[in-house]
Amino acid sequence: MTTTHEVTNQVPPLTGHDTADYAVFEESLRREGATSALDDLHEVGRLAGTAHSIALGDRAEAHPPVLHTHDRYGHRIDQVAYDPSYHELMEISTGFGLHGTPWASDDPHAHLVRAAKLSAWGPVDAGHQCPISMTYASVPALRVDPSLAAQYEPGLTAAGYDPSFRRPADKQFLTAGMSMTEKQGGSDVRANTTRAREQADGTYRITGHKWFTSAPMSDLLLVLAQAPGGLTCFVVPRVLPDGTANGIRLQRLKDKLGNHSNASSEVEYVDAVGWRLGDEGRGVPTIIAMVNMTRLDCTIGSASSMRAGTLQAAHHAAHRQVFGAQLIDQPLMRNVLADLAVEAEGATTVALWLAALTDRAEAGDEQAAMLRRVSLAVSKYHVCKRSPIHAAEALECLGGNGYVEDSRMPRLYREAPLMSVWEGSGNVAALDTLRAAAKQPESLAVFMGELDEARGADRRYDAFVDELGSAFTDVETIEHRARRVVGDMATALQGSLLLRHGHPAVADAFAASRLGRDRGDVFGTLPTGLDLAPIIERCTPKGTGETQDVIA
């Protein structure tokens, strides 16, 4: 065969590395006294980096779930069929305890450890992490009713996966989803029209539609519906105690921008049987306990995506030559990589810190619970908003290859906006922060008190926090300014954590660019005079053992 050319200067695939080999993980676990979990974390990271796991994610993405509304004889079955790769991913994730296990653990760092593992596993496939996250999040909401919690919690927190369509009582392992959003409004759930009628036996019959319900094969769905006493939360199992299918009609699966391995459905409830969770009229506060946990996972997921994008970009730059030098040594590319890395470190640090606060709040620390309330709202807004622009820049670091599906960067890019849309889109998340502060002014005071802890570490930080303190005085215009104020709160929080606990070079770059505002309006505009070498070193993957590419 005639040879036309040799392939040179192409980058080896990033396989065979430990995705948990990221300094922020170890630093965060060490800070919280959770180093005994490091071995387990690295086990997750090593598996996430294997060619097999990467191929599983590719397969699940390439073979989206299929809805079967009827069997061949015309009976309604309302079943979603998933590719075997999806089930294997679910089995691995639940085996690692990424779903409900922290709620059944007596490890004082269970939520932090789970967050680090979820983050390390994140880049494999985002889609299946939706039911993992909803299962995790369902437990605190279920606890509103101890008898329902006793019924379902063991299955939601046991480490294992059973996708069979059977009565929850017959299954050792369960998953849960949530069904709130209707056609006329998702953010404004109080506009829900789905109705619930109480029966003589104390159950309710639920009738109406939901415009978005992900993972509809979950064993139970937490559904909002209008009962006589107002909007109420219900536990609606897919299979009833008598073994028959509940009245849940799956109409269609959404054709989504990304998140292809996950089924997101349109549903109609037709006299579905539901068990009331919490009092009538308390639907929103009840389900908020679930939403708050999925918001934590949105923050963890966006931070994980930023870390993955940064690592891919640094890996590419470390192996690619341009204009006679390694790309990673070109001054302007160093600026871009370091800027991406600083963003990812700030996001990962705050995400893990929020998970650690969850541990403390669960142990009864009320101050931690208040701090978490505001800090989570600001971080859900800010971290999830930064992720799409971060993904676009990371993709560009790979040049044309980054725009091609093989690189998996388009997947990262398509996935990125979802975390901001879901569970309180940008504006709603920003406004939620203001609402929390107005409803519970002491929570804002606790938040500002946390920021004070880092005072004196950096003059740019002190000035930034001083300015933030005056942002709340003009109440008339605060809603108009919500994105700015909440974004600044999130930036200050990340700054305080990095200055106290982060690597000094990362903290300095963060302070100069984000707090001192010495930067342009895109990534790669850090000012001169910063020590970029350790920042880039920390985000460049080491020890890529396998060099074969992955073909799913």
Ligand X SMILES: Cc1cc2nc3c(=O)[nH]c(=O)nc-3n(C[C@H](O)[C@H](O)[C@H](O)COP(=O)(O)OP(=O)(O)OC[C@H]3O[C@@H](n4cnc5c(N)ncnc54)[C@H](O)[C@@H]3O)c2cc1C
d(CA 233, CA 285) in angstroms, rounded, equals 9
Pick 42 or 385: Cβ nearer ligand X: 385
181 belongs to the binding site for ligand X (CB under 6 A): yes
Asked whether position 179 contacts ligand X by CB under 6 A, the answer is: yes
Choose among 401, 534, 474, 482: nearest CA to 14.
Answer: 401
Residue number with the smallest Cβ distance to ligand X: 186
Percentages (nearest 5) of helix, strand, coil residues in the chain: 55, 15, 30
Instruction: Tell me how many residues contact ligand X (CB under 6 A).
Output: 24
Nearest alpha carbon to residue 312 among 446, 123, 73, 487? 123
* 221 φ/ψ angles, rounded to the nearest 5 degrees: -120, 140
Whether the CB-CB separation of 455 and 461 falls below 8 Å is answered with yes
185 touches ligand X by CB under 6 A: yes
Question: 25 or 422: whose CB is closer to ligand X?
Answer: 422
Least distance (Å) between residue 64 CB and ligand X? 12
Scanning the structure block, which residue is given the tokens 């060099």? 547
Residues 6+ away with beta carbon under 8 Å from 277:
141, 142, 144, 145, 148, 222, 232, 233, 234, 235, 286
User: CB under 6 A: which stretch of 19-27, 208-216, 231-239, 270-278 binds ligand X?
Assistant: 208-216
Least Å from the CB of residue 139 to ligand X:
17
Dihedral sign for Cα atoms in the order 267, 270, 274, 280: positive
Shortest distance (Å) from residue 291 CB to ligand X: 9
Distance CA 543, CA 46 (A): 11
Residue 421 binds ligand X (CB under 6 A):
yes
Q: Report which DSSP code applies to 49.
A: T
Q: How far is the CB of 141 from ligand X (least distance, A)?
A: 13
Query: Residue 434 or 535: which CB sits closer to ligand X?
Result: 434
* Interhelix angle 459-469/441-452, nearest 10 degrees: 170
The 3-state DSSP class for residue 512 equals helix
Check residue 121 for interaction with ligand X (CB under 6 A): no
Site membership for ligand X, residue 418 (CB under 6 A):
yes
**What's the 3-state SS for 453-506?**
CCCCCCHHHHHHHHHHHHHHCCHHHCCCCHHHHHHHHHHHHHHHHHHHHCCHHH
Closest CB to ligand X among residues 317, 485: 485
Q: Which two tokens stand for residue 335?
A: 């600026």
CB of 499 vs ligand X, minimal distance in Å: 31
Q: Which stretch binds ligand X (CB under 6 A): 11-19, 54-62, 177-185, 543-551?
A: 177-185
Q: Should residue 425 be labelled a site residue for ligand X when binding is judged by CB under 6 A?
A: yes
User: Per CB under 6 A, does 212 bind ligand X?
Assistant: yes
Q: Give the position of tokens 């005639």.
A: 2
If one asks whether residue 299 binds ligand X (CB under 6 A), the answer comes out as: no
Question: Is residue 481 near ligand X by the rule CB under 6 A?
Answer: no
- Single residue of 129, 214, 226, 312 touching ligand X by CB under 6 A: 214
Q: Which is nearer to ligand X, 168 or 186 (CB)?
A: 186
Q: Is 82 in the site for ligand X (CB under 6 A)?
A: no
Sign of CA dihedral 187, 190, 192, 195: positive
Question: Which range touches ligand X (CB under 6 A), out of 139-147, 427-435, 485-493, 510-518?
Answer: 427-435
Q: Provide the residue type at 428 as one letter.
A: V
**Interface with ligand X includes 187 (CB under 6 A)?**
yes
Q: If binding is defined by CB under 6 A, does position 37 make contact with ligand X? A: no
Question: Which of 203, 427, 440, 540 is close enough to bind ligand X by CB under 6 A?
Answer: 427
Q: CB nearer to ligand X: give 115 or 431.
A: 431
251 binds ligand X (CB under 6 A): no
Under the binding rule (CB under 6 A), the answer on residue 491 touching ligand X is: no
Tell me the window of 178-186, 349-357, 377-385, 500-508 that interacts with ligand X (CB under 6 A): 178-186
**With b meaning 16 or more CB within 10 Å and e meaning fewer, what string describes 267-280?**
bbbeebbbbbbbbb
What's the token pair of residue 262? 């996950």
Q: Does 426 bind ligand X (CB under 6 A)?
A: yes
Whose Cβ is closer to ligand X: residue 215's or residue 497's?
215
Could you say which of 180, 311, 394, 451 contacts ligand X (CB under 6 A)?
180
Say how many CA atoms lie within 13 Å of 195 toward its Cβ.
6
Q: Which is nearer to ligand X, 24 or 180 (CB)?
A: 180
**Is 232 one of the binding residues for ligand X (CB under 6 A)?**
no
Asked if residue 95 lies in contact with residue 161, where contact means CB atoms within 8 angstroms, the answer is yes
Closer CB to ligand X, residue 23 or residue 421?
421
Nearest to 238 by CA among 196, 175, 293: 175
Told to check if 428 binds ligand X by CB under 6 A, we report yes
Is residue 205 within 8 A of residue 271, CB to CB? The reply is yes
Out of 101, 138, 218, 259, which residue is the one contacting ligand X (CB under 6 A)?
259
Binding site for ligand X (CB under 6 A): 177-181, 185-188, 212-214, 256, 259, 264, 418, 421-423, 425-428, 431
